[in-house]
Structure 1
Amino acid sequence: MDKIDLDNIDLTNFIMPIKLNYDREYYFELYERLNSYKEYIKSLNDISQSTIENVEDNINLIVESVEDYYNADIAEAKNKILNLLRKYTLDDFIISELDKSYAFRGLAPFSELLDEVKEGYVNEYSEMNVYPLSFFKARLGNSAFEKKDMLHIPFCNRELVSTQRFSIPGVPCLYLGTTSYVCWLEMDKPQDNVFNVSSFQLPNLKILNLVIDYELINNQVKNLIKFKDDRIKREENIKLLQSIIEIFPLVYATSFSINSKERKFKYEYIVSQLIMQCLSDLKINGIAYASKKVKKSTRAFPQCINLAISMKINKKFHFKNERDKYADICENISLTEPVNLSEFIKMGGNNKTHTVGTWTKTFSYKFFSDNLPQCLIYLGSREIQYKYTEFANFDNYIFALTHDKANIFKVL
């Protein structure tokens, strides 16, 4: 393969999510696509040898972990993914506090990467760093749900926990999204009358950032060109670019979607669930990732980002009261009463204003509602600005409601 200058990098051949028809295709597609990625990275000029070596090593660890899993050596499969992740424990772009994660605040927390001139879609980076993040969770049903019902499935009901992308059967996990829209997508577009949503405020957890796609890499290359006369900023951007290039195969391996519905085991969840099993070893609380329900990952940030938080029982195997059925972290979570989408629309929908809380607009609405590609979603087979949807109005309405602990965690 001919050598390619770094400023001409183009990873559009590695669009995510990757759609397959059958489970049996997963391993071979993963192997071929990651090998193609490795060869492409090796063809780049001005890429460090250490980056090339890490890309090769990471790809080998991913492929071998799947092979180990197929051979029933789950412990060794997990160990390979753990060895991969351990390389990045000090990389604050990949592993950071929730409040400083690229997955939710974009590049705002990384001042060393930014131009002194304001970027086009940002009012003030300083404001982006302090404005509260917004998270949502949905439940389906016609019941009158309470706040506690919007938390994870209680430990006493493990039989209800099915396999999901970042959780295994019987082990509760709290799944949140940055908008009600992504919750709706993840639940396969349910009817309005059964779609109930709460807004969440979270403690400052430690998060693994898997919100990375080819466009982010391409844009970082543009920054190298922009900062060619600023040695410090150029070096910081090169450092980030190398980290992204190295971790990209792991993101890619977790971004497959298989069309077959009636399955007891899902091949595309193997690497994701191995990552989840590594979190305790690394003292990480959760994983941020782009929804695989979107047509392409470049339309995921910021409206379609998910957060999976592992729920720990902390040796509470005997349930003396209602609180014991939930993870300790839930005591530090504030949330709103759930709101039904159909009832919201009947109340006036986009004509309904609400200002009970201090904040009246969600993070993504406040900072990403201009006419830019980042603000587009697919709805009704066409692209539309998210701010013009009923979902955006729904988000803002719920976000402005009072957030508080579930009643079971309040001192009587």
Structure 2
Amino acid sequence: MNYIDSLIDTINSHNSKLPICLNANNHNIVPELRNLFDDYINQVKTCIHGNSISLTKKLPPYWTYNSLIEMLETISNSLLNSIDHFHAGLPNKAYNRLAEGLSILLKNKSTRNNFREHFTLSLSHFKSYRLRNKLRPNDIINHPKDLFHIPFGIRRITKSYRYSIPGFPCLYLGSSPEISFKEIGESMKDLFGIVFESKKNLTFFNIDFSEVPYSIDIEKLYIKIVSWPLIAACSIKMNDSHKSYEFKPEYIIPQLLLQYIRQQEIGLYTQTQDINLDYIKDLIHLLKKNISSSPDYINKLIKELDSLQKIISEILCYKESVSNDDERSNKNKEYQLKALQKDLKKNLQTNLKLLKKDNSKNLYIQEEDDLMSKSKNEINRLISLLSYEFKENPINGIRYLSTHYDSNVSFNQENYVLPVLENKSEGYCSQLTNLFTVSPVVEIKQTTNPFKELCKQSNLSNLKIK
């Protein structure tokens, strides 16, 4: 067996241990988690030992044996230190320590897009499910709002859940009614459910411990190897004897992760490195050479193209430095560039129309006319690029494999958590309601196929609640 197959076997072997079941009597999860991380890192070192040179030849220059192990040890230590700080009653330090570790993965200049691509998953028009039992005999569950997130007006009843803190409502959904049923405790008494379908593309931070194929690209394998400690720390199964406890150490890292995602923009960057500035420079030179006999609007176009060079250069520099600069400075730069983009796009569109109307051939020889044609195409493409949202794609929530995961079942076992996006005194998050259509409420009864009626629901409509 070659060393790459050994690496894949190592990560698959550790994935098979997830979700982790920790000692029922141990309320400090750090020692067990440290042993798990140490064992994993040592196995990775053993697989690569003696093969680091041949391995790194297949990878970009920023990946080396030392960089892999350093990143792996850094993220592992940040997770363990974060839990220690939380146990010490210092949640702010816990968050900051986790953020430092995640920055190694998500903001490293060389690898950030690869890690972001690994951790983000976009889904369009996907169906999900939410089930709920009546808590009291006189409860009424007859409207989809009764199965939405806990209303702001009674947020005091919001408990601690895997990815959300007490008092902060979130919408939890299951990818199948079966996994939703497991999440609520598998009680059929007074059980109701609804179907959700997303109205647009939603992007999730993806916590995935599915099996790694042997055909995986080597760089993607490296990314999976380094990411595993974070996946593991978010996949600790709560022991049944802990369910009644108020504090659940298994939730520390998942809750801090959702907080981190809500405060960061960690989507993939809009790619702008293929903008060809040479055409624009050549066009400026051409227009200046012929300015004495050119139409008046050419003077204005030259100024716009000069501005265009500067702004595109700033955008490219911004893309390279955004993760390393001060966050407030980034925001100010972003607002400035957005304003410039808006004005530039409008002026380019105006001047492009004038260029297209100009049929004069006496100003340009054939080569110059070809250059003008290429420049028109380039300006068109730049206008299209400037139409993109400048900042990174937002993350709508977290997708994660359930800690009730069972490799022997055939139904989907992913869950989704979407945090509320506004802070109101009562009612529901309108930004979340606008993301989905929902089915009518279905009462689920004890039959041989209890979820058949729920899965058949096709009459989905907008969720009209405030």
Band the TM-score falls in, shorter-chain normalisation:
0.5 to 0.7
Q: How far apart in 2 are the matches of 1:23 and 1:404?
A: 47
**Equivalences for 1:74-113 in 2 at 5 Å?**
74-86=91-103, 87-88=105-106, 90=113, 91-99=115-123
Cα distance in 2 for partners of 1:198, 1:135 equals 9
Q: Which digits, 9 at most, give the CA deviation of each residue in 1:22-55, with x for residues without a partner?
A: 3425221111101111111112225542222211
**Residues 147, 338 of structure 1: 8 Å contact kept:** yes
CA distance in 2, matches of 1:145, 1:326: 20
State yes or no: 1:40 paired with 2:43.
Answer: yes
| Separation (CA, whole Å) in 1 of partners of 2:38 and 2:225 | 14
Question: Which residue of 266, 269, 288 corresponds with 2:399?
Answer: 288
Cα deviation, residue 340, structure 1 = 1.4
Matches within 5 A, 1:6-155: 6-9=4-7, 10-11=9-10, 12-14=13-15, 15-20=17-22, 21-24=24-27, 26-45=29-48, 46=51, 48-49=64-65, 50-86=67-103, 87-88=105-106, 90=113, 91-99=115-123, 132-141=125-134, 143-155=140-152
Q: Which amino acid aligns with 1:239?
A: E
> Given the two structures, how large is their TM-score scaled by the length of structure 1?
0.68
Q: How does 1:221-236 map to 2 (within 5 A)?
A: 222-224=214-216
Aligned partner of 2:165 in structure 1 is 168
Instruction: Answer yes or no: is the 8 Å Cα contact 2:152–2:424 preserved in 1.
Output: no
- Name the CA distance, whole Å, in 1 between partners of 2:260 and 2:463: 29
Which amino acid in 1 is paired with 2:27? R
> 1:201 deviation in Å?
1.5
The offset of 1:96, in angstroms, is 2.8
Deviations 1:264-290 (A, max 9, x none): 100111111111111222243211111
1:122 aligned residue: none
> Which protein shows a greater Rg?
2
Matches of 2:71 and 2:411, distance apart in 1 = 29
Distance in 2 (CA, whole Å) between partners of 1:288 and 1:174 is 12
Partner of 2:361: none
Match of 1:397 in 2: 456
2:76 match: secondary structure: helix
Amino acid in the other structure paired with 1:341: I
| Alpha-carbon contact 1:136-1:200 (below 8 Å) kept | yes
Cα deviations by residue, 1:353-396 (Å, 9 ceiling, x for unpaired) = xxxxxxxxxxxxxxxxxxxxxxxxxxxxxxxxxxxx654x3453
Q: Are 1:304 and 2:328 counterparts?
A: no
Superposed CA RMSD in Å reads 2.5
Shift of 1:252: 0.6
Determine if contact 1:69/1:77 at 8 Å carries over to the other structure. yes
What TM-score does the superposition give when structure 2 sets the normalisation length?
Answer: 0.60
Q: What residue is the counterpart of 1:241 in the other structure?
A: 221
Structure 1 residues 259, 67: CA separation in 2 closer, same or farther (over 3 Å shift)? same
Superposition deviation, residue 327 in structure 1: 4.3
Superposition deviation, residue 140 in structure 1: 1.2
Matches of 1:299 and 1:245 in 2, distance apart?
Answer: 25
Alignment partners' CA distance in 2, 1:23 and 1:66: 14
CA contact (8 A) 1:94 1:210 kept: no
SS of 2:27's equivalent in the other structure is helix
**Contact preservation (8 Å) 1:289, 1:307:** yes
SS of the residue corresponding to residue 120 of structure 2 reads: strand
Counterpart for residue 335 of structure 1: 438
CA contact (8 A) 1:147 1:407 kept: no
Query: Following TM superposition, where does structure 1 have runs of at least 4 consecutive aligned residues deviating by more than 6 angstroms?
Result: none
Structure 1 portions without partners, runs of 5+:
100-129, 225-236, 350-388
Q: Which amino acid aligns with 2:396?
A: N
Distance 1:327 1:279, change over 3 A: farther
Of stretches 264-273 and 39-48 in structure 1, the one that deviates more from structure 2 is 39-48
1:4 positional shift: 7.3
Cα pair 1:290 1:301 within 8 Å, conserved: no
**CA distance in 1: counterparts of 2:439 and 2:88, whole angstroms:** 45
- Give the Cα separation in 2 of the matches to 1:273 and 1:262: 19
Letter in 2 for 1:167: S
Deviation at 1:68, TM superposition (A): 1.2
Match in the other structure for 1:201: 197
Secondary structure of 2:400's partner? strand
The aligned residue for residue 117 of structure 1 is none
Contact residue 28 and residue 249 of structure 2 kept, 8 A? no
Counterpart of 2:254? 272
Paired residues of 1:255 and 1:292 also in contact (CA < 8 A): yes
Query: Could you tell me how far 1:61 is from its partner in structure 2?
Result: 0.8
The one-letter code sitting in structure 1 at the alignment partner of 2:78 is L
For residue 85 of structure 2, what is the amino acid of its counterpart? D
Number of corresponding residues: 304
Q: Is the Cα contact below 8 Å between 1:23 and 1:266 reproduced in 2?
A: no
Judge conservation of contact 2:121–2:206 (CA < 8 Å) in 1.
no
Identity value in percent? 23
Q: Secondary structure at the match of 1:176?
A: strand
Does the 8 Å CA contact 1:290/1:300 hold for their aligned counterparts?
no
